Amino acid sequence: MKVIICKDYEEMSKKAAETIIAVVKKNPSAVLGLATGSTPIGTYSEMIRDHKENGTSYKGVKTVNLDEYVGLDINSDQSYVYFMRHNLFYGLDIDLANTHIENGKAEDKEAECRKYDELLKTLVQDVQVLGIGSNGHIAFNEPFTPFDSTTHVVDLTENTIKDNSRLFKSIDEVPRQAFTMGLKNIMDAKKILILANGKNKAKAVYGLVKGEVTTEVPASILQKHPDCTLICDEEAAALIK
């Protein structure tokens, strides 16, 4: 795994955006695998700034997102589809029809998972952006998720519900389930970019880079990916230096 340690969040975001923009410039019909959460917001702002200032076009780009809360859709400002539109897509010239995410409102959840897996077979990520949970989760693949998992519905752990509650009015509003790409879907990406900032990620980053490859730390499987880069700030890198 390649590791790039940046002095702060801003530098991390710029470096991450540069990598994604390079992929799009090389292949204007690239497939971008995207993540939500606090970590990539600065990266997405940089992509929007570059689009406006330098004209990088996303007209032919397709996107697949990692995950979505069960029960939420575009009408909920807590849904991930809402997050993606407001933090990235509305700032680019991307065709929203080319942006994909699991349907949080799907009645048949199992069918939705199989449908998403089929989609991922046709849209293989040229680059997959990831954040990391403080317990080492990637997407919503919590500890002990099998490495060969594909798209599935998860019951979120108390730890993740607590972490995510900062984005909701109260902890009771955080959905208890989510759709998520599985670890195999993530490992199938051609290139992986995992971002981490802040001292609460330091332990997870240690497990990602230097720990044993174990389902206890789902991100540790990325050590086996042939083209994975971690871009993090000094605080998140505290235990790997």
Ordered strands of the 192-196 beta sheet: 2-6, 228-233, 192-196, 127-130, 31-34, 62-65, 99-100
For residues 12 and 195, the answer to whether their CB atoms sit within 8 Å is yes
Give the integer Cα–Cα distance in Å for 68 and 86.
15
- Where in 48-77 is the site for ligand F6R (CB under 6 A)? 66-67
Told to judge if 137 belongs to the known catalytic residues of this protein, a careful annotator would answer: yes
Q: 53 is written with which tokens?
A: 């200032």
- Asked if 137 touches ligand F6R (CB under 6 A), the answer is yes
| Residue, CB closest to ligand F6R | 131
- Asked if 84 touches ligand F6R (CB under 6 A), the answer is no
For residues 231 and 17, the answer to whether their CB atoms sit within 8 Å is no
Out of 131, 175, 207, 211, which residue is the one contacting ligand F6R (CB under 6 A)? Answer: 131
Per-residue CA distances from 171 to 83, 123, 161, 164, 175 (Å): 19, 35, 7, 8, 9
- Asked if 36 touches ligand F6R (CB under 6 A), the answer is yes
**Minimum gap (Å) between residue 54 Cβ and ligand F6R:** 26
**Minimum gap (Å) between residue 208 Cβ and ligand F6R:** 12
Which stretches does DSSP call E strand in 53-126? 62-65, 67-69, 99-100
Nearest to residue 87, comparing CAs of 199, 167, 8? Answer: 167
**Minimum gap (Å) between residue 53 Cβ and ligand F6R:** 26
- Where in 174-233 is the site for ligand F6R (CB under 6 A)? none
- Asked if 42 touches ligand F6R (CB under 6 A), the answer is no
**Piece of 13-21, 33-41, 97-105, 228-236 that binds ligand F6R (CB under 6 A):** 33-41
- Shorter beta-carbon distance to ligand F6R: residue 24 or 34: 34
Out of 24, 64, 139, 156, which residue is the one contacting ligand F6R (CB under 6 A)? Answer: 139
Out of 6, 33, 39, 102, which residue is the one contacting ligand F6R (CB under 6 A)? Answer: 39
Helices and strands: H and E segment counts in the chain: 7, 10
Positions annotated as catalytic residues are 67, 135, 137, 142
Residues engaged in binding ligand F6R (CB under 6 A): 35-39, 66-67, 131-133, 137-140
